[in-house]
Homo-oligomer: A and B are copies of this chain.
Amino acid sequence: MTDKKQGKIRIHSQEKILLAAQDEFISNGYKGATVQSIADLAGLPKANVLYYFKNKENIYHAVLERTLDMWDQGIGDIVYEDGPKVAIEKFVSAKVKMSFNHPKASKIYAMEIIQGAQHLKEFARTYLRQWVRDKSKIFQLWIDEGRMINIEPINLIFIIWSSTQHYADFETQILTIMNRADYEEDDIEQVTQFLTQFILRGLEVK
């Protein structure tokens, strides 16, 4: 945005708008979302929403930016010193927490990718690609040291991403199948346990 001074009201309104926009973009996609609908969800007149963000694309960019920030923080890190067991425990645990606590961020991200990543090709091409490279190297080291079985590190990364994010993106389906209305506190722990155990078993050197 800009260097305008940011009063309390401004921040509060912007916050309301971004939260509303997130819901609207998830429900209807970028093109299907309407500024009017975002305004209604935020409880503000449309003209006021456009005062803060000027146009629909700006709103979307702001929502995406937040999403990527979240990806970035919540990700936990994979460091060589931890060794494969602890590193994967930490990583899976962080990703599962993310999925259960911020499913909307995950959904926005997933929709972007499915629709062709028009708005964040750059993020994938630079940041993400480098991240995968770095972590693959660490996994490869552990493999060379005989501390985990010999697999393509990238396959491991994908299976962790997919299996953890699934609980956010497919929330609706999972809850329907399990005939439940919402996730519960316990679920985070249960899923984390299962996934870490399962993945670690798959990596064990016999």
Interface residues of A (CB under 8 A from B): 26-33, 107, 110-111, 113-117, 121, 124-125, 128-129, 132, 149, 151-152, 154-155, 158-159, 161-163, 165-167, 169-170, 172-174, 176-179, 191, 194-195, 198-199, 201-202, 204
Contact = CB atoms under 8 A, between A and B. Distances in A.
B169 A114 contact: yes
Given A29-B28, A152-B194, A198-B159, A176 B121 contact: yes
A179 B124 CA distance: 10
Contact of A117 (B173, B195, B201): B173
Number of identical protomers: 2
Interface of A is mostly: helix
A159 B111 CA distance: 20
Contacts of A121: 176
A154 B178 contact: yes
A111 B111 contact: yes
Nearest to A110: B114
Given A124-B177, A155-B194, 16 more contacts: A31-B31, A32-B33, A110-B169, A110-B170, A113-B170, A116-B172, A117-B172, A129-B179, A151-B198, A152-B194, A155-B191, A155-B195, A158-B166, A159-B195, A161-B166, A198-B202
